[in-house]
């Protein structure tokens, strides 16, 4: 009888543990699905939705430039998903993308031996792993970004850390993102503990909190403001924001092609400045948790990096 009681208690405990583990991402899933519903509704018909979502857009913009009935997967290409004019230019550039040679350089960096005989291929035997970053490291109880992981691979092998925004690091990431894209990988961010869920919530708070002397939040531009114009550009949407990094920005590559590729952290520090605040360090806890939240919002979307932006 006692043995039956013990067995029953163990089974109940295991069931509770499994249920608890699967529930840690419950709020994040609600957030993600709500975001998908929000953007699909927003871009179902911009002209009909002008009062609710596009009060400052022109008649010409709403009727002739914003694509209708955009669905979840389509948002992976940023504002080119809804901007007809932007998509035309994007398709032209993609015929001969300026980052092609850099992807090959990234493959060379991936396989190049360190002084001790190891290589990135030892640290990352599966180069498609980019689809799973940033990840919450349960042993360290912190978010680890791909940028951080690359530099930790170098320093643990006696090499110097690379620049976290441009140069060789995003070139290596371009190769890894390309491999993930070729393999048909989708963004796959896990939340499997209370600590991970807490990190996600802090990242969400960072995204929606107004700050800087302009008193803007990330969401001001990329949730509420998505689809509206600032100067000559339409603001992109949060949904799909992390799927295409590293990106080659034409403005970054004007002087030197290698500098055209930038990490997600490079773009985010630029956004910090645009908000009127001092930029957060690329591998700070604040930045990594922000990216963790953003990446989770793109869960299930195909990796399409590296990509090109203006």
| DSSP-assigned beta bridge partners for residue 59 | none
CA distances in angstroms from 42 to 66, 228, 236, 243, 296, listed in the order given? 11, 12, 13, 21, 21
- Model pLDDT, residue 261: 96
Instruction: Kindly report the three-state secondary structure assignment for every residue of 9-62.
Output: HHHHHHHHHHHHHHHCCHHHHHHHHHHHHHHHHHCCCCCCCHHHHCCCCCHHHH
- Percent share of the chain, pLDDT over 90: 77
- Model pLDDT, residue 22: 62
Lowest mean pLDDT among 14-18, 40-44, 305-309: 14-18
Q: What are 74-84's pLDDT values in tens digits?
A: 999 999 999 99
Q: Which residue has the tokens 């400052």?
A: 56
Q: Band the pLDDT of 96: cuts 50, 70, 90.
A: very high
pLDDT above 50 (res 303):
yes
Q: Report which of 172, 171, 140 is spatially closest to residue 153, judged by C-alpha positions.
A: 172
Determine the average pLDDT of the residues in 258-275.
91
- More confident call, 159 vs 230: 159
* Contact by Cβ (8 Å): 90, 304: no
- Model pLDDT, residue 282: 93
Q: What are 3-19's pLDDT values in tens digits?
A: 333 333 333 333 334 44
CA distances in angstroms from 228 to 25, 46, 91, 243, listed in the order given? 31, 10, 21, 21
Rounded to two decimals, the pTM is 0.91
Preceding amide of 212 cis, omega within 30: no
Lowest mean pLDDT among 34-48, 73-87, 154-168: 73-87
- Model pLDDT, residue 178: 97
Edge to edge, the sheet with strand 247-249 lists 261-262, 247-249, 307-309
Q: Report which of 51, 53, 95 is spatially closest to residue 70, judged by C-alpha positions.
A: 53
- Model pLDDT, residue 108: 98
- Model pLDDT, residue 147: 98
Q: Band the pLDDT of 51: cuts 50, 70, 90.
A: very high
CA distances in angstroms from 170 to 44, 101, 205, listed in the order given? 35, 13, 27
Verify whether residue 221 is a known catalytic residue.
no
Fold type of domain 27-99+182-309: Cytochrome Bc1 Complex; Chain D, domain 2 (1.10.760)
Domain boundaries, the chain: 27-99+182-309
- Model pLDDT, residue 19: 40
- Model pLDDT, residue 234: 85
Two tokens at 281?
Answer: 């360090």
Burial class (CB in 10 A: 0-12, 13-18, 19+), 34: exposed
Determine the average pLDDT of the residues in 89-99.
92
Catalytic residue chosen out of the listed positions 123, 153, 218, 271: 271
Q: What are 136-164's pLDDT values in tens digits?
A: 999 999 999 999 999 999 999 999 999 99
Q: What are 98-128's pLDDT values in tens digits?
A: 999 999 999 999 999 999 999 999 999 999 9
- Model pLDDT, residue 12: 37
């Amino acid at each position: 009888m006692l043995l039956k009681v013990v067995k029953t208690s163990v089974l109940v405990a295991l069931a509770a543990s499994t249920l608890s583990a699967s529930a840690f991402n419950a709020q994040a899933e609600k957030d993600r699905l709500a975001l998908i519903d929000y953007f699909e509704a927003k871009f179902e018909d911009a002209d009909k939705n002008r009062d609710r979502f596009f009060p400052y857009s022109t008649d010409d913009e709403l009727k002739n430039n914003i694509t209708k009935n955009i669905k979840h997967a389509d948002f992976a290409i940023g504002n080119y998903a809804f901007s007809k004019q932007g998509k035309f230019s994007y398709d032209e550039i993609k015929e001969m993308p300026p980052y092609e040679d850099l992807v090959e350089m990234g493959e060379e960096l991936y396989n190049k031996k360190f002084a001790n005989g190891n290589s990135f291929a030892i640290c990352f035997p599966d180069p498609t792993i980019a689809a799973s970053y940033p990840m919450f490291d349960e042993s360290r109880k912190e978010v680890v970004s791909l940028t951080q992981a690359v530099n930790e691979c170098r320093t643990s092998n006696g090499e110097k850390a690379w620049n976290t925004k441009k140069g060789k690091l995003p070139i290596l990431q371009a190769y890894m993102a390309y491999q993930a894209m070729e393999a048909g990988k989708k963004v796959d961010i896990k939340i499997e503990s209370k600590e991970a869920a807490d990190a996600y919530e802090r990242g969400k708070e960072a995204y929606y909190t107004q700050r800087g002397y302009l008193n803007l939040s990330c969401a001001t531009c990329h949730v509420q403001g998505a689809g509206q114009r600032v100067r000559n550009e339409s603001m992109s949407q949060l949904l799909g924001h992390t799927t295409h990094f590293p990106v080659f920005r034409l403005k970054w590559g004007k002087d030197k092609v290698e500098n055209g590729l930038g990490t997600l952290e490079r773009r985010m520090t630029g956004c910090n400045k645009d908000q009127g605040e001092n930029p957060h360090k690329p591998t700070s806890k604040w930045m990594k948790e922000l990216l963790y939240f953003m990446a989770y919002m793109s869960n299930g979307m195909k990796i399409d990096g590296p990509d090109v932006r203006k």
